[in-house]
Amino acid sequence: MSTIRPAIVEDAQGIGWVSVTAWRETYAGIMPADYLAALSIEQRVAVFRDRIANLPDRQAIFVAYSQDERVVGFGVSGPARETELGTDGEIFAINIVEAEKRRGLGIRLMAAMANALSQHGFARVGLWVIDENAPARRFYERLGGREATRKDQAFGIKNLVELGYV
C-alpha cells in the first residue's frame, strides 16, 4: 500500500517531478502546449525545497509514495489566498501522476489536508479547479464539493475558467 505523510525537504525532487508530469498529463489539450512544455522540473524542485524548509504558518504539504518508494502525488493546503473563494482555508494543489490515479490516493491526500486544515483552525475549505478538468470536478463533487464562484485565469496566451469549489 502507498504511504501518505508530511513532506520533508528530501521529497522536493519527487514533488517537482510530479508537479510537472501531472500538469502535462492532466492539461494536455486544455492548456497551450508551449505553456506545458515550458514547465521546469528544476524550477519546481527549487520552489518546493524552499517551501518545505520554510513552511509558512498554517500550511501543510503532504506527499504520496508508491509501493516501490517513488513520489507519485502531493497536496498543499493552508490559508485561503483570495477572499473571492469565500473560505478561510484552501487546498492549493493536489497532483497525482496518471498511472497512480483511481487507487485511493486522492481521497487519502484530501483527508490528510482536511485534518491539517482543521487542526490549524480553519472552518471552511475551498479550491480552484479548471472548468475543463472534468475528472477533477467529478472527484471534488463526490467528496461533497460544489461550485461557489468562478474566474478567468491566464495560462500562457490562453484564458481558462477556474471554478471555486467549497
* All structural domains of the chain with their residue ranges: 3-125
Give the model's pLDDT for residue 1.
62
Q: What is the mean pLDDT of residues 54-79?
A: 95
pTM of the model: 0.93
Do 166 and 140 form a contact (C-beta atoms < 8 A)? no
Q: What is the mean pLDDT of residues 3-18?
A: 97
Fold category of 3-125 in CATH: Aminopeptidase (3.40.630)
Average predicted confidence (pLDDT) for the chain = 94
| Cα–Cα distance, 83 to 86 (Å, whole number) | 5
